[in-house]
Amino acid sequence: MEGKKRYILKLEERYWRRRREGLLRSLSGKIVRSFETMPYLVIELNQTEVEQIRNLRGVMEVFEDEQATTQEQQIPWGVAVLAGPQVASQLGVNGSGVRVGVLDTGIDLQHPDLKVAGGIALTGDSFQDDNGHGTHVAGIIAAQDNSQGVVGIAPGVELFAIKALNSAGSGWYSDIAAGLEWAIKNRLDIVNLSLGGKQNNPLLRYAVKRAARAGILLMAAAGNAGNEEGKGDTVLYPARYPEVMAVGAIDRQWQRAPFSSTGPALDLVAPGVEILSTIPGGDYKVMSGTSMASPHITGLAALLKSAYPRLKAKEIRQRLTAGAIDLGSKGWDSWYGYGLPTGIQVLGKRKPR
């Protein structure tokens, strides 16, 4: 049996009302809609009936009806779990006044849901994203609250693109170190590093220490080197360094993602499975990884800094861990760190004085 589809009939404009009345009678039960002032009919037909209708006198054209969908702004599930924007709205903060760097593959400079204040290209000729990873990370942190697309945790931050990874998503440790040096020089407050490598490196270690001493809060993906059993010390560098907050990934059930790295260096966890965010070309995509978890905490840290500008990086770090919901074994553990921080726990319910 042929399936029916919804079609639009365009009637000959001369005497179209008379033609319409005739068709309404002959096609009774098939008409979906008629119009008072336009020479069109909407009708449900199968393919055989369509060919028959095309030959009727007074029918000029037959074409399929199309559907439109709502385009309102969405709050991705990870953003909702942290409840950052809701609490921040109550407190009157959105990350404004906080300078955040995304050390990654760059950021799409033309994306309508992102506002990039500046940046540097340490690979290639521009800090325009030629991979997509950095744009996705940036959207989790700072997608604009503009009634379209998605909204980030802290849409009011000053967002900087530090492009140290190439179009394939890889980059030299030395370029990452140069990116941290740039962050120090440009007085950034927080730098997100959704990247990782298995090897320690003296230059990277030195750059991390310098950035931390300069008062920059460093947030990094713990790594996707974990295993189903959650065994072993698998946190990658630079998340493994003590000056950096290592963030693992959880799913919608607040369970550790099987790929999420584990070990003594793990500090916190955040949503990192099926995360909707921005990608180049003005589009949106779902991605998974600890790369998606880290920017959730970066955004929350930016809200905290915005609400309490005098807080130092060390104090923000302490409040994030103190405001975490304990998951897994009681207290700190190698799967979840200190747990999942939320806006309510970290920011409080009262407006800052």
For residue 237, give the DSSP letter.
Answer: B
Distance CA 244, CA 219 (A): 6
* CB-based contact 157:99 (threshold 8 Å): yes
Query: Where are the domain boundaries for CATH 3.30.70.80 in the chain?
Result: 5-64
Question: What are the tokens at 347?
Answer: 């920011």
| Strand 266-271 with 275-279, pairing | unpaired
Query: Burial level of 85, CB count in 10 A (0-12/13-18/19+)?
Result: buried
d(CA 315, CA 304): 10
Instruction: Give catalytic residues, as residue numbers.
Output: 104, 133, 291
Neighbours of 282 (CB within 10 A): 14
What's the token pair of residue 26? 């002959």
**What CATH topology corresponds to 5-64?**
Alpha-Beta Plaits (3.30.70)
At 173 the three-state DSSP class reads helix
* 142 and 154 Cβ atoms separated by less than 8 Å: yes
Q: Which pLDDT value is given to residue 67?
A: 62
Query: Residue 54: its pLDDT value, please?
Result: 84
- What is the rounded CA–CA span in Å between residue 69 and residue 73? 12
Gap between the Cα atoms of 341 and 271, Å rounded: 11
Give the pLDDT score at 70: 43
Measured CA to CA, the distance from residue 239 to residue 214 in angstroms comes to: 18
One-letter amino acid at 100 equals: V
Q: Quote the CA–CA distance of 23 and 52 in Å, as a whole number.
A: 13
Helix (H) or strand (E) holding 296: helix 290-307
Q: What is the distance between the alpha carbons of residues 326 and 339, in angstroms, rounded to a whole number?
A: 5
CA distances from 63 to 14, 37, 44, 79 (A): 20, 19, 11, 42
**Distance between CA atoms of residues 325 and 331, nearest Å:** 10
Instruction: List, by residue range, all CATH 3.40.50.200 domains of the chain.
Output: 77-347
Please give the full DSSP string across 200-253, using - where no structure is assigned: --HHHHHHHHHHHHTT-EEEEE--S---TT--S--PPBTTTSTTEEEEEEE-TT
Residue 1 burial by CB count (10 A; 0-12/13-18/19+): exposed, middle or buried?
Answer: exposed
Per-residue pLDDT tens listing for the chain (353 residues) = 467 788 887 888 877 888 788 787 777 777 788 777 788 878 888 888 888 888 888 888 888 887 654 456 888 999 988 876 677 777 788 999 999 999 999 999 999 999 999 999 999 999 999 999 999 999 999 999 998 999 999 999 999 999 999 999 999 999 999 999 999 999 999 999 999 999 999 999 999 999 999 999 999 999 999 999 999 999 999 999 999 999 999 999 999 999 999 999 999 999 999 999 999 999 999 999 999 999 999 999 999 999 999 999 999 999 999 999 999 999 999 999 999 999 888 887 555 55
Q: How many CB atoms lie within 10 A of CB 82?
A: 25
In terms of Cβ atoms closer than 10 Å to its own Cβ (0-12, 13-18, 19+), residue 56 is middle
Asked: is 77-347 a CATH 3.40.640.10 domain? The reply is no
DSSP H or E segment with residue 181: helix 173-185
pTM score: 0.81
